[in-house]
Structure 1
Amino acid sequence: MRVMELVRFGGADTAFATRELPQPVPGPGQVLVRVMATSVNPLDLQTRRGDYRDQVALPAVIGNDVSGVVVETGRGADDFQPGDEVWYLAPVFAGLGTYAEFHVVDQALVARKPARLSHVEAAGLALVGVTVWEALVERAGVRAGERVLVHGGAGGVGSAAIQIARALGAEVVTTARARDHGFVTGLGAGTAIDFSAGDYAPQVRAMGGVDVVLDTVGGDTLTRSPEILADRGRVVSIVDISEPQNLLAAWGVNATYHFVFVSPGRAKLEALGRLVDRGELRPVIGAVLPLADIAQAHTLLEGGSPTEGRGRPRGKIAIAVHPLDQPPHGTGSSGREE
């Protein structure tokens, strides 16, 4: 099978190389999936730069999102059969990643792909959707009638968080650049604040504060959240904490902090699928590139291509692994999406 292999840590332009590796074989309880699409996430950028070099030995195939088709099942993997369309989040730092034409995974982590999503859309939703579900539902316990602040609402995680918070019955406030205000309010945010135009905290306090803060941006968010939290408010961060944070003010509002390093699971995907089926959640795909252009996808996610005058896309950058207009590499199938 063809893969895009991470061969050196550092910049995107020299990090990857095309390789041919043996197609994996499913073991007991596993399924072999033809990867129709995957996506690029901030975790991939961090891995490529070398932030997790203790967990990743080079050369490595990275990536975690999958939408595809089951082609073979291992002994005891009775939940699926060849031809089933599935989606899942692969375990982080465990075996071969998803920048590949085929992938093996434990069936317990796999769910059937929502019929109304294309493979590209499903691949763009897996990791961010599971992350938001774990953050807002399993950790923060968001309830109907509460107010949630989503930092970075125009990004991949933020765009999913706005929709999921609304589906839970919450009022959503989000930070985004002015040019993205129409986009985030279209997703369900009741209030959008331009973080680049000044301090967001006074505006949030003026509306009575929030019950939950979802931190997708880092910086001083953890330190400043108590300024805008209601009593017994919750803060959930999905960002690596690299600098000391002063949380003394959190004591005064009885705040609870949660830190999420996402874990895969079928139940979360099925819950997301129900929101998709009800029309309450839709993936936001800002760009779709072929697997061979994985370095360009990383560059786009890091902030765009200055030479082409393009900025970072809204939502997710998806990767079409098996091009939809030609047979998948090494197979006789058309690989077309219905």
Structure 2
Amino acid sequence: MVTAIAFTAYGGPDVLHPIEIELPTPAAGQIRVRVKAAGVNPVDTKMRRGDFAATMPANFPQRLGNEYAGIVDHVGDNVVGLVVGDEVLGSATAQSYCEYVVVDATNAVRKPAAMPWTVAAGLPAVGQAAHTALRQIAVKPGDTVLIHAAAGGVGTIAVQLARHWGATVIGTASEHNHDHLRSLGATPVSYGDGLVDRIRALAPDGVDAALDAIGGDAITASLALVRDRHRIGTLVDTEAAKTFGILRVGARSTAALADLIALYEAGMLQLPIHATFPLTQAGQAHHEMQTGHVRGKVILTVD
């Protein structure tokens, strides 16, 4: 038996608790990974609260966790290129808060030896989302790009990628994160009343594209600032995408993850780790996520 984290009713962070499950066995084309660390993401807190109950109801006891880093300890039939003992990172679906995960081998990428387990576990979800989203809104050299919630996990990666691709970046964030954004090469602006005017003062020639990770007022500001609605992407607000004809963006891409790892190895990408918690303290990790002041990623570690 192995330990996983689950919840049996919607609610606050305290509904998360350890359960014991059978050690999973990989099928053909799959690998089993002994998890060293798992990333915590906003979607996990929303799933736990029941935000998706109408469209994606929980299957109690419901597990969580969409990204992991660990060591391959069992390889299924027909797997090519990975062997027992390889250190890997990648995506999963609602299972990474666990001592072991079974995933398709094609979704795993080798971890660089020098990359910490915490960074490796925090990169797949936000990295792939940022990379594919910026491609979907066609960010290119010379663009001015507005990134909302730029100090969060997705935002931190998106700022660096957009700068690497030759764009100028304006990022919204709380004032205590402004120096962080400057260090990444973005020009920070504060949330709140007057946001559109503050951005126009920074970009008198206009904003070419916008990436939203929070919804609400960020969508309103983006619509006021970006001429082509097909260059506004939201990671979170599906209804706004339908209503205003903007793009619902973000997807998994192993190729994108490999590109991000190469940038990290070249010293051109960083992922701040805001806090780490042991696996059995997943509830505390969710409490921290909900403070609204997370810079980078919150990570669960597994002994």
TM-score of the superposed pair, with normalisation by structure 2:
0.93
Aligned CA distance change for structure 1 residues 224 and 59 (closer, same or farther; 3 Å): same
- The residue correspondences of 1:1-338 to structure 2 (distance < 5 A) are 1-13=2-14, 15-53=15-53, 54-91=56-93, 97-137=95-135, 139-189=136-186, 191-196=187-192, 198-206=193-201, 207=203, 208-230=205-227, 234-241=231-238, 247=244, 257-260=246-249, 262-303=250-291, 312-322=293-303
Q: Deviations over 1:251-293 (max 9, x none)?
A: xxxxx72102x43332121111111122121111100110011
CA–CA separation in structure 2 for the residues paired with 1:236 and 1:244: 8
CA–CA separation in structure 2 for the residues paired with 1:59 and 1:232: 40
Aligned CA distance change for structure 1 residues 243 and 10 (closer, same or farther; 3 Å): farther
- Quote how far apart the aligned CAs of 1:220 are: 3.2
- Quote how far apart the aligned CAs of 1:56 are: 2.3
Percent sequence identity over matched residues? 36
More displaced 10-residue stretch of structure 1: 228-237 or 262-271: 228-237
Largest Rg, 1 or 2? 1
2:234 and 2:241 in contact (8 A); partners too: no
- Quote how far apart the aligned CAs of 1:246 are: 6.1
1:222 and 1:245 in contact (8 A); partners too: no
Aligned CA distance change for structure 1 residues 122 and 76 (closer, same or farther; 3 Å): same
**2:76 partner letter:** G
CA–CA separation in structure 1 for the residues paired with 2:228 and 2:280: 50
In structure 2, runs of 5+ residues without a counterpart are none
Counterpart secondary structure, 2:97: coil
- Quote how far apart the aligned CAs of 1:231 are: 5.4
CA–CA separation in structure 1 for the residues paired with 2:290 and 2:99: 24
CA–CA separation in structure 2 for the residues paired with 1:126 and 1:9: 26
**2:284 partner letter:** Q
Aligned length: 298
CA–CA separation in structure 2 for the residues paired with 1:152 and 1:219: 12
CA–CA separation in structure 2 for the residues paired with 1:87 and 1:257: 32
**1:285 partner letter:** I
2:132 and 2:253 in contact (8 A); partners too: no
**1:62 partner letter:** L
In structure 1, runs of 5+ residues without a counterpart are 248-255, 305-311, 323-338
In angstroms, what is the RMSD of aligned CA positions? 1.9
CA–CA separation in structure 2 for the residues paired with 1:232 and 1:20: 48
CA–CA separation in structure 1 for the residues paired with 2:240 and 2:163: 32
2:230 and 2:247 in contact (8 A); partners too: no
Aligned CA distance change for structure 1 residues 103 and 195 (closer, same or farther; 3 Å): same
2:152 and 2:296 in contact (8 A); partners too: yes
CA–CA separation in structure 1 for the residues paired with 2:242 and 2:78: 48
- Quote how far apart the aligned CAs of 1:44 are: 0.2
Counterpart secondary structure, 1:108: helix
**1:63 partner letter:** G
CA–CA separation in structure 2 for the residues paired with 1:231 and 1:24: 47
**1:72 partner letter:** H
1:123 and 1:318 in contact (8 A); partners too: yes
**2:291 partner letter:** G
- Quote how far apart the aligned CAs of 1:242 are: 5.0
